[in-house]
Structure 1
Amino acid sequence: MSYEEIKQRLKGSIAPVVTPFDQDGNIDFETMKGLINWQIESGSHGISVTGTSGEPSSLTIEERKQVMKMAKETVNGRVPFVPATGSTNHAEALELTKFAQEIGADAAMVIVPYYNKPSQHALYKHFKAIADSVDIPIIIYNIPGRTAMNLEVQTMARLAEDCSNIIGVKESNKDFEHVNRVLHACGRDFLLFSGIELLCYPMLAIGGAGSISATANIVPGKVAEMHNAWFEGDVKRAQDLHFELMELNDVLFIETNPGPVKAALGMLGKITPKLRLPLDLPSEENQEKIKQTLVKYQLLSKVKS
């Protein structure tokens, strides 16, 4: 399949599935299979794993590969599969991205390296080397709030021009001017995905391809429906869903992701609510706020009925 054909498929709500653990902190693969099937059955347009919501920095390289392989097999071609393969370590990012190609992923999402704070020139070299090492499409993941580094518009445009398989970006960037300039500089066919929940709808309005939103872990159908409404030209319905989801979006980021999301999934009976240190579940006070929000959205009542 050509890059252009893949780009046509990579639209809508790409769900960034959490990595569930059992009480002992081991990966719960069977539960994860269930989450992936639930996402697809609920209408999600694609599946991503081992991104921010999947706690990649808490997983070993071998565990990340195991999760990616299991997820690819579970998705089984029903929707596009886009694992996150980035790392603060260049060699690890290369290894994981090559592995994504090996198992047949539709694309790989590669985060801007965190902690290192590389220069723009070094970032260019990092992403170009990864893109040159594989034949699958690459989606850059720009999340300055967690990496302490923003991939600037000029760098993004240079990469898009020099690397034919760098086809898009997940922008978890609250600077909406930056996001507009990225799409203008890289071309209107460059795939722009929102990683900021309150910008999922606005990014669609400027020509975005969709979102990779943690909220899809909780209400995959609603998040997918918002995208469907937009693509079908029902602007009012898309706007209504945007505002309907706002309170849930807010509470799911009351503390660092994916703590609140995992707490919510635990309340819904979907997973054992367990994270690996240094991450943890939200405070009892914040868990109560999450619970009350789920009740308000009639999500807990559906589970209990």
Structure 2
Amino acid sequence: MDYTAAAKQLRGSIAPVVTPFTDNYSIDFDAMTSLINWHIDQGSHGISVTGTTGEPSSLTYEERTRVMAHAAKTVAGRVPFVPGTGSVNHEETLNLTKMAQEIGADAAMVIVPYYNKPSQHALYNHFKAVAASVDIPIIIYNIPGRTAVNLHVDTLARLNEDCPNIIGVKESNKDFEHINRVLLKCGPEFNLYSGIELLCYPMLAIGGAGHISATANVMPEKVAELYDAWVAGDTDRARSLHYELMPLNDVLFQDTNPAPLKAALGMMGKIAPVLRPPMALPTTALQKDIANVLKNYTTIENETISS
């Protein structure tokens, strides 16, 4: 595979779609189909599932495979499809990444293993083995706030040099100095994606490839337009969208993602506002704040606050 050409296709707003549940906590595949079609219609440049926003830790292994397969079938090649295949378990990560290739994914997004805090040497070995197991692009997902370990820039640069199919990284990292050094060490062709909503615009300014932003679940057209405006050279419009989206970004992260997001999507009539325990919807007060902010962006079909 020509990984350089593949990387060029994996740019823009790749929407990390939520996993909808019914009131009895089963996966709502009909709602998932509707969400994916809506995202594509609204201009999202790619679709991702079973990343942080997709609550993978609340899914069984078998459920993750079903979500991935259903999403691949729904996307049907209309835009790039990038499922999250990482896990705390090495063998499970290998199997899910191989499955991504089997179902025709354009790339796999593999999170830094969480909870067990591997060393940089161990992370190198883990990602090298994952990359060697498939012939599709790999996007590493670095989110130290969730994983309790940060993938160092030197480790990432070594992986980029040794593994041709490691073509990018999603940096959910508030250390902007670290983020700048990613492109310094890995080169301008390396795909750098923002996973921090307030850094989507700044990352484009330093050479980023786009963003994988939870806010795209609520306002897919504007999150995609931010990228489109930047690429078109309309920096004024891109900057304006950055600030326009800021109040929404702020309220959606007043509680752990995707709890506020699912409350918002419930108000918009897109899904049932359900998370699997131990996750739960935000407090009544925060849901009221979310509703008030949403009214400035979109039509709310249901202002009922869920318990």
1:8 CA drift (Å)? 1.2
State whether residues 108 and 136 of structure 2, in contact with CA within 8 Å, keep that contact through their aligned partners in structure 1.
Answer: yes
State whether residues 269 and 302 of structure 2, in contact with CA within 8 Å, keep that contact through their aligned partners in structure 1.
Answer: no
For 1:255, the aligned partner's letter is D
For 1:249, the aligned partner's letter is N
Which residue in 2 is equivalent to 1:203? 203
1:3 CA drift (Å)? 1.1
Alignment of structure 1 residues 106-117 onto 2, 5 Å: 106-117=106-117
In angstroms, what is the RMSD of aligned CA positions?
1.2
Which residue in 1 is equivalent to 2:272? 272
Q: Structure 1 CA distance, aligned partners of 2:272 and 2:66?
A: 19
1:113-132 Cα distance to aligned partner (Å, 9 max, x none): 00000000000000000001
Which residue in 2 is equivalent to 1:124? 124
1:295 CA drift (Å)? 1.1
1:300 CA drift (Å)? 2.1
Q: Structure 1 CA distance, aligned partners of 2:23 and 2:285?
A: 22
For 1:202, the aligned partner's letter is P
State whether residues 157 and 186 of structure 1, in contact with CA within 8 Å, keep that contact through their aligned partners in structure 2.
Answer: yes
1:159-209 Cα distance to aligned partner (Å, 9 max, x none): 000000000000000000000001110111000000000000000000000
Is 2:188 aligned against 1:188? Answer: yes
Alignment of structure 1 residues 110-259 onto 2, 5 Å: 110-259=110-259
Q: Which runs of 5+ in 1 are unaligned?
A: none
Q: Structure 2 CA distance, aligned partners of 1:159 and 1:2?
A: 18
Name segments (4+ residues, structure 1) moved above 3 Å: none
> When the two structures are superposed, what TM-score results if normalisation uses the length of structure 2?
0.97
Q: Secondary structure of the residue that 2:126 maps to in structure 1?
A: helix
For 2:150, the aligned partner's letter is N
Q: Structure 2 CA distance, aligned partners of 1:81 and 1:87?
A: 19
> When the two structures are superposed, what TM-score results if normalisation uses the length of structure 1?
0.98
State whether residues 269 and 300 of structure 2, in contact with CA within 8 Å, keep that contact through their aligned partners in structure 1.
Answer: no
State whether residues 267 and 301 of structure 2, in contact with CA within 8 Å, keep that contact through their aligned partners in structure 1.
Answer: no
Q: Which runs of 5+ in 2 are unaligned?
A: none
Q: Secondary structure of the residue that 2:300 maps to in structure 1?
A: helix
State whether residues 191 and 208 of structure 1, in contact with CA within 8 Å, keep that contact through their aligned partners in structure 2.
Answer: yes
Q: Structure 2 CA distance, aligned partners of 1:191 and 1:75?
A: 22
Q: Structure 2 CA distance, aligned partners of 1:139 and 1:8?
A: 13
1:296 CA drift (Å)? 2.3
1:276-302 Cα distance to aligned partner (Å, 9 max, x none): 111111011100100000112243279
Q: Secondary structure of the residue that 1:15 maps to in structure 2?
A: strand
Share of identical aligned residues, percent?
69
State whether residues 80 and 106 of structure 1, in contact with CA within 8 Å, keep that contact through their aligned partners in structure 2.
Answer: yes
State whether residues 13 and 213 of structure 1, in contact with CA within 8 Å, keep that contact through their aligned partners in structure 2.
Answer: yes
Q: Structure 2 CA distance, aligned partners of 1:17 and 1:109?
A: 13
